[in-house]
Structure 1
Amino acid sequence: MEEEINNRIQCDWNNWRKVSGVICDRKVPIRLKGRVHKAVVRPAMTYGLEAAPLKKTEGKKLNVTEMRILRWMSGVTKKDKVRNEHIRGTAKVTDASKKVQEERLRFVWPPDEKRRATHGKRSNVRGGGWNTKERKT
């Protein structure tokens, strides 16, 4: 699993390098940089981890990598003593480990209000499927 985490982190940095012209530009607003990060960089890191069991140390490794990228993106160093929460708040980005956990929950059990509301009827959700409550007719 350690190799897979390191591979995901490497993919994260590779995608960051691809868009570093936009992300590191001081003229681009930080919120737009955050959106680019969420759309391009983070999916490379979280891809395939929704089915993998993560240890706390591995989740921390993902968070550290993401914070390094966010600090670089916002032009803030550790010497500036700006808290991580402030940087995440300005870019509107959450923890990578929390995102992986959300993806895992979505992967394992998709909470779908439409499916629950049908009460046994064929769901109109993509992929179909039957509700767990069956109606007697």
Structure 2
Amino acid sequence: MVEVNSRVSAALSKWRSLTGVLCDKKIPERFNSKIYRAVIRPVAMYGAECWPATKEVETRLSVMETKMLRWMAGVTRLDRIRNDAIRVKFGVAPIAERMSEARLRW
């Protein structure tokens, strides 16, 4: 779990450095999605092939991803928009699926 926590904190620091671009309303969502998939997700998933496949690990990464996507969309829980709708809006697959694919590839 220590490795997962360090990956999450690394992804959050990378997220903070790019927040000015990702949260700018003038930049298209398609571009934000590409930045997220090309920069932030690989930082979070580095070494995921070797992590234990526990529900706790998947939940931790899923929460991180959902918070980032909601922040990029400018949506809060009070707006009552489902997480699946936000994922479809950005064209991002759930991070748990990506973890299982990475494990199968390894």
With normalisation by structure 1, the TM-score equals 0.74
Structure 1 stretch 72-81 or stretch 13-22: which is displaced more? 13-22
- Larger helix fraction of residues: 2
Structure 1: 4+ residue segments shifted above 2 A = none
Structure 1, gaps ≥5 residues long: 108-137
Q: Which amino acid aligns with 1:85?
A: D
1:35 is aligned to 34
Task: Compute the RMSD of aligned alpha carbons.
Answer: 0.9
Q: Would you say 1:76 and 2:75 are equivalent positions?
A: yes
Structure showing greater radius of gyration is: 1
Of 40-49 and 95-104, more deviation after overlay is shown by 95-104
**Matches of 2:8 and 2:15 in 1, distance apart?**
10
**Number of residues paired by the alignment?**
106
2:44 aligned counterpart, secondary structure: helix
CA offsets per residue over residues 59-90 of structure 1, 9 Å max, x none?
01110110000000110011101000110001
Q: Residue 84 of structure 2: SS of its match in structure 1?
A: helix
Aligned residues with identical type, % of pairs: 39
